[in-house]
Amino acid sequence: MTTKIKICGLTTPDTLDVALEGGADFVGAVVFPKSPRHLEPEAAAALFERARGRAKIVAVTVDPDDALLQQIARTLRPDFIQLHGSETPGRAERVRALTGAGVIKALPIRQADDFAAADAWSDEADHLMFDAKPPEGSALPGGVGHSFDWTLLAGRAFRHPWFLAGGLNPDNVAEALRITGTPMVDVSSGVESTPGVKDAGRIAAFIQNARRS
Ligand SMILES: O=C(O)c1ccccc1N[C@@H]1O[C@H](COP(=O)(O)O)[C@@H](O)[C@H]1O
């Protein structure tokens, strides 16, 4: 089966177009003011309209309150809300009701027992995303280019197609696919020249290398 690809934290028309022309399946807008990739919902809506119907639009959020979810639903109208904070499974139903979007839940992984949280989400999330636990003191829960030990995924099965995230880049995505057999990959800082600045060549190379694997 073809690997599904999500390019996250896009902030410019040029780099969004490279992702779309390369055939990205998901494109992500980060709505989190502490992130160097942050876009206000209205700005994200204006930028991502060109992606509608071409790739699934994902709003990446961290513990969003109801008002923010409603604002995102009204403006950006994403296909998915990515929950990248300490949301509980009980929150998913409310997220769906407020936004009409599907739910991607990111779970931070450092060691084998971190996968225990996946069980409680298996009925609640459309897709789980296994991302590396960020280093101590990091201001961001994701988007920091940190990876976890991919062999921790060996022999695990999940109810829905899931994403591998954290520290992926054009040079390691083939190996990540070989080791984990993940059906979906997600990348942000690994296709940037500096934090928050996407690099068109790296986006194209990432997609090409993921597809070739
Ligand atoms: O990208 C961000 O700034 C961000 C902010 C807050 C929550 C999540 C964020 N990014 C997500 O983290 C993954 C992994 O990032 P990376 O590839 O290791 O840089 C990214 O794809 C986003 O889904």
Ligand 1 within 6 A of CB of 134:
no
48-86 pLDDT, tens digit each: 999 999 999 999 999 999 999 999 999 999 999 999 999
The DSSP string of 117-141 is: HHHHHTTT-SEEEEEEPPPTT-S-S
8-22, 134-148, 181-195: least confident range:
134-148
Neighbouring CB atoms inside 10 A of 177's CB total 20
Q: Please check the confidence at residue 183 and state whether its pLDDT lies above 80.
A: yes
Selection from 159, 166, 160 nearest residue 134 by Cα: 166
State residue 1's pLDDT score. 73
Angle, helices 66-75 vs 41-48, to 10°: value is 30
* CATH class for the domain made up of 4-212: alpha beta
pLDDT, residue 172, reads: 98
Give the model's pLDDT for residue 212: 85
Ligand 1 atom nearest to 191, measured from its CA: 17
| Pairwise pLDDT comparison (24 vs 135), residue with the higher score | 24
Q: Given phi > 0 = left and psi -120 to 50 = alpha, else beta, which region is 72?
A: alpha
> Among 30, 68, 164, 182, which residue has the most ligand 1 atoms within 8 Å of its CB, making it the best to mutate?
30
pLDDT for 116: 95
Tell me which of 15 and 137 has the higher pLDDT. 15
Mutate which of 8, 129, 146 for ligand 1? The one with the most ligand atoms within 8 Å of its CB, which is 8
Q: What is the mean pLDDT of residues 159-168?
A: 97
Average pLDDT, the chain: 97
What interface predicted TM-score (ipTM) does this complex get? 0.97
Q: What is the pLDDT of residue 19?
A: 98
Q: How far is CA 103 from the centre of its chain?
A: 11
pTM of the model: 0.97
What count of other Cβ atoms lies within 10 Å of the Cβ of residue 136? Answer: 5
Find out whether the beta carbon of 61 lies less than 6 Å from any atom of ligand 1: no
**Domain locations along the chain:** 4-212
* Residue 213: predicted pLDDT: 73
pLDDT in tens, 31-56: 999 999 999 999 999 999 999 999 99
Instruction: Sort residue 63 into left (φ over 0), alpha (ψ -120 to 50) or beta.
Output: left
* DSSP label at residue 159: S
